[in-house]
Amino acid sequence: MDFNPCMKHQVVRKTVREFAENEIGPHAASLDREGRFPTEIIEKMGPLNYFGLQVPPSLGGAGLDTISYAIVIEELSRVCAALGLCVSVHNSVGLYPILRFGTDEQIARFVPDMAKGLHIGAFCLTEANAGSDAGGVETTATKTEEGYTINGTKIFVTNGGVCDVVLVFAVDAGQQGPSRPNVFIVEKTCPGFSVGEIEDLCGMRANPVSSLFFEDCRIPETNLLGKPGHGLKIGLTALDTGRIGIAAQALGIAQAAFEAALSYAKERRQFNSPLTKFQTIQNYLADMATSIEASRLLLYRAAAAKDTGGDFGAQAAMAKLSCSATARTVTDLAVQIHGGYGYSREYDVERYFREAKVTQIYEGTSEVQKMVIARHLITRPS
């Protein structure tokens, strides 16, 4: 197995890093303080295919492999995790399910504008009583002569404040027996669709996370995604893909925190010596670097497994579990190395510290990842 990145991946990393550092970097701290979604930066990202990373060129996308996709999210998140989150969610759980399960008409109608970044996608599964329990959805869809009428509330929707196209999980209001959710493609122009207030979050503050309300929201029958009753299958497939993106996001945060800590340790002097002369700091830096590299290998293995077309759910869960834990540990050590300055908003490590935690929560908590991994271990053939 060759662990060296190919030329294509090196070019992808270099190109995205230059864009992120030049176009996003100068604004990242202020975007976090203000909780502002930078539409002016998003407009620059569209022509670069960041919103159609794995969409075929024939539909307006970049046609990248999954390792390249992970590199893009990693590099964006290294500079601004909130924008890395926007791109990850849009591509993985907003756009990908339409590309994978949509009809030819749905693909032609929705994918090109989403791939260009003209329409931002979102994924609406979480409710007040249905978070990790994907089967506990209470939002309903009632069949009518014109199509469907959806009623319910979705919470903590990433990209919710700026979304144009959302995938909504809802159960059939007239269904008998155990509920089997469906997935519906809902456009923001549909009657009965509205956006709640933007959440005041600890981190990822430049991403407009919000609740979405569906009050007798009317959509045509052609907006049903996949076959009736296949919502859970679509959701789990989307989440497997999404976990690769969130793992990459967490890795980018960890990489940024490590680089900041290493730079600070070289410059900061105590007892007439730079911090790098002290064994404890050396141990911290060694642990941080080792964890990042180990997590990166798990991430790229999961990405490669996805591209082979086989089952990659366990690998994606392992990557997400590892990368999010690494982000949490590395950002904590980065703050510790900075000492009192690490607790000040004048230094970026404070922001990285706040942003890392949520990577252990969304797209399935760390506990859910362990359930996915364990289920795979128990059920796979000996």
Catalytic residues: 363
The one-character DSSP state at 92 is I
The residue type at 378 = I
> Which residues have a Cβ under 8 Å from the Cβ of 254 and sit 6 or more positions away?
288, 291, 292, 295, 323, 326, 327, 330, 331, 356
366-370 long-range contacts (CB < 8 A, ≥24 apart) are 366/321, 366/324, 366/325, 367/132, 368/132, 369/243, 369/317, 369/318, 369/320, 369/321, 370/317, 370/321
d(C-alpha 377, C-alpha 380), whole Å = 6
Please give the Cα distance from 300 to 321 (Å, whole number).
14
> Rounded to an integer, what distance in angstroms lies between the CA atom of residue 159 and that of residue 86?
6
CA distance 356 to 299: 17
User: 140-143 and 165-172: which strand pairing?
Assistant: parallel
DSSP letter string over 119-139?
A: S-EEEE--BTTBSS-GGG---
Distance CA 282, CA 266 (A): 11
Asked if residue 272 lies in contact with residue 289, where contact means CB atoms within 8 angstroms, the answer is no
Q: Amino acid identity of 295?
A: S
C-alpha angle 366/372/373, rounded to 5°? 90
- How far, in Å, CA of 305 to CA of 311, rounded? 7
